[in-house]
Amino acid sequence: MRIVVQEWERVLVYRDGRFEAELEPGRHRVGVWRRRTVRVVVRPRLLVVPLQEVLTGDGLSVRVSLTSAVRVASARTWHEAVEQPDAFLHTALQVALREAVATRTLDELLADRTTVPDQLASAVAPAAAEVGLAVERLALRDVVVPAELRRAAAEVVTARAQGLAALERARGEVAATRALANAAKLVDTQPGLLQLRTLQAVEAGRATVVLSADPSGTAAARATAER
């Protein structure tokens, strides 16, 4: 019997129920008598852990999902070790994910999501090797925070923004008060500056001059700025 093995697969040959050989990519000639062959795909595939509810280290409930790229590292082990090796690894990923999230607070989990896959990879590597698999990449796909926590976080951000705005308004009022105080001191020490400023406003056409008599009988010019 001639067997052609593709690049992305391996072929296991069994004789009388016992393992005999593992065929690499290429063309092979194998005897048919009392033999059976099993084809195992070794190219990477995606394994997804769907959203599951997990408690963080500070007792908050979040929903997280995980994606992993796995491949068959040992075709014979993958075929012989357990009945459903992918399901075996899927369960190991679920347990490792719960343990990794439980050691972190919610803020730590949201701030640094890259360290969780590294911890998971090292945790599930022995379990994957037991069933002939190798985990190549891991990533947290979703971290879903409950609606009440999202609303609370939005309120905190809004309160912080409002506080900063109030602080800026207070700073502006203090600066304006200081400017007025400095101007008052300057006019008090040099009264002629007020008359010069009045003449500048009149020349620019932004003031109306009103003449009135003061108690001493002299005429004084008063300017009122018009915006």
Query: 44-93, pLDDT tens digit by residue?
Result: 999 999 998 888 888 888 889 999 999 999 999 999 999 899 999 999 99
Q: Which residues of 73-104 are buried (b: 16+ CB within 10 A; e: fewer)?
A: bbbbbbbeeeeebeebbbebbbebbeebbeeb
Structural fold of domain 45-145:
Tetrahydropterin Synthase; Chain A (3.30.479)
- Where helices occur in the chain by DSSP H, the ranges are 75-80, 85-102, 106-111, 115-130, 147-189, 192-203
Task: Give the start-to-end residue ranges of the domains of the chain.
Answer: 2-41, 45-145, 147-188, 190-227
Per-residue model confidence as pLDDT tens digits over 151-196: 555 556 566 767 777 788 778 887 878 777 777 777 677 777 666 6
pTM over 0.85: no
